[in-house]
Amino acid sequence: MQYEKLAIPDVVLITPQVFGDERGFFMETFRQSEFEAHCGHHTFVQDNHSKSAHGILRGLHYQHQHPQGKLVRVTQGEVFDVAVDMRQSSPTFGQWVGVTLSEQNKQMLWVPPGFAHGFYVASEEAEFQYKCTDYYAPGDEVSLRWDDPTLNIQWPLANQQLPVLSAKDTHGVSLPNAPRFN
């Protein structure tokens, strides 16, 4: 696997080696020792899988008291995936990085604890799978506004149409009012 640190160096794009032939393909999606060497020591305790239709935006989410690191990938379709640094002491606080993850490129993104995370579905539908370093704690989840002008995230919205959001995401908080990590 190749590990590439992005503009926010703690966020890492992982490209697996894919072995394919007329029968299909094989790839390794996770190896603890390599992950630790490139991303740090983290233990995953929960795996999640979601399916979303075109134009849906999920996020930007994070847990404040029980922060989750997420290793994310797309197994069907394509999404634009975003991580926002919520660590107040970080030199990249309030900055974001975004990458396209798809079933074709088979890339994964490591989003460490201390980051808000979200994605926009660019294909007809997408299946999204991710490993988490802490359990989901519903009362602890924060939804950061996807369209916060302070962040100025360049979402690749289809035909400049507003994305489909959950009620929680519609009422997300702006960066200046959001809980932060030290």
Q: Give the other-Cβ count within 10 Å of 109's Cβ.
A: 24
Catalytic residue flag (residue 41): no
| Confidence (pLDDT) at 10 | 98
CA 41 – CA 64 distance, rounded (Å): 20
Active site residue: 42, 117, 120, 130, which one?
A: 130
In degrees, rounded to 5, the angle at the alpha carbon of residue 98 between the alpha carbons of residues 107 and 6 is 75
User: Which value, in Å, is the radius of gyration of the alpha carbons in the chain?
Assistant: 16
Catalytic residue flag (residue 130): yes
Single out the residue of 162, 72, 161 nearest to residue 118, CA to CA: 72
Reported as a single tens digit per residue, the pLDDT across 25-73 is: 999 999 999 999 999 999 999 999 999 999 999 999 999 999 999 999 9
Q: Which amino acid is at 54?
A: H
Active site residue: 41, 49, 61, 135, which one?
A: 61
Which residues touch 157 (CB under 8 Å, ≥6 apart)? 55, 120, 163
| Confidence (pLDDT) at 142 | 98
Which residues in the chain land under pLDDT 50? none
CA 144 – CA 67 distance, rounded (Å): 14
| Confidence (pLDDT) at 164 | 97
pTM of structure: 0.95
| Confidence (pLDDT) at 130 | 98
CB–CB of 148/175 below 8 Å? yes
CA 172 – CA 60 distance, rounded (Å): 8
| Confidence (pLDDT) at 77 | 98
